[in-house]
Amino acid sequence: MAGFGSLPPPSPPFPLAKKQKSSINDVNDDILYLIFASLDVLELVGCSAVCKSWGSLFERFNLLLSKLYNPQLIEQLAMERHRSSLVGGSASVFQWIGHSSMDGNARVFDIYSRRCCRVMKVQSVPVTCLSLNEGQLLMCGSSFGAISISDFSSDRPGMMLVSKSLAEIKTLCFNPGSTPSCWRNKDTSVLVVGGIDGVLRILDQNTGEVLSRCIVDESNRSSVQLKGGGGHQVIEKKAVRRLQKDERLDLMSVASRPSITCLAVGMEKVVTMNKDKCIRMWKFLN
């Protein structure tokens, strides 16, 4: 006869249901409304741009209209936070190896996962620069002086502008003369520049004074591997070091600050492409 300790455990009266993973989509609109109602103006704007369902929720409940009595208020607050973050806020850098543009393709990276989520054939020759406007119009310059214009929301081929001169196009900027109603491009306070010395500088746009100088702190890093369509993508996270006014660049390692070849500025973010073929996203926090 088996001992008492060897008896099998009693079976449950009802079969146990498998636990299902929950997501933010399982939260009903009323609860989301209570959460959003406690946020400030800038946090509300960020939440309204997360996805279409949240954006439609804001429209139905008029969350933004209930807090934005003055259209210029959000612009002023956003620009103040943006300037404060760039000039003196804490910062970190996420970097990963970029892809070569010698194949004539434009690659789209997800800014949150840092994965290449889309590849577009825009040129038959190497791409040297590109510009994406708010209307999802993608313009790419080439090493042979041609500019391609493509609809970012469509896979159909666009049009090609060919110059009589076959000189390489080094940089490209498109300004349609219109901006979103919320952001009216009135931030004339700070200017972000990068140079061959690998230093990211924040300048006073009115006086030219250097307000802050930033470099990547190579001594403080961590890395994580993300699975992508082409295998594993290694993302390195590094700290940002703000240089003092009297610190000399000639005493610092050149290898730790590769030249910045191009950059783009967003709200509290700067994305740079460097000579070491790395894409770096600088995130500034107020």
How confident is the model at residue 284, as a pLDDT? Answer: 93
* 189-224 tens-digit pLDDT: 788 998 889 999 999 888 889 999 999 988 776 766
The tokens describing 156, both together, are 């159909």
What is the average pLDDT value for the chain, to the nearest integer?
76
8-state DSSP, 9 = P
Ranges of each domain in the chain: 25-69, 83-176+187-285
Written as six digits, the tokens of 102 are 């010698």
Residue 241 · residue 58 · CB < 8 Å: no
Higher pLDDT, 136 or 279: 279
Cα distance between residue 55 and residue 153, in whole Å: 19
Structure tokens at 151: 């609809």
Supply the pTM of this predicted model.
0.63
Residue 120: pLDDT band with limits 50, 70, 90 = confident
52-99 pLDDT tens trace: 788 787 777 666 656 555 556 667 777 888 888 899 999 999 888 876
278 contacts 114 by C-beta, under 8 angstroms? no
End-to-end CA distance of the chain: 72
Element (H, E) at 254: none
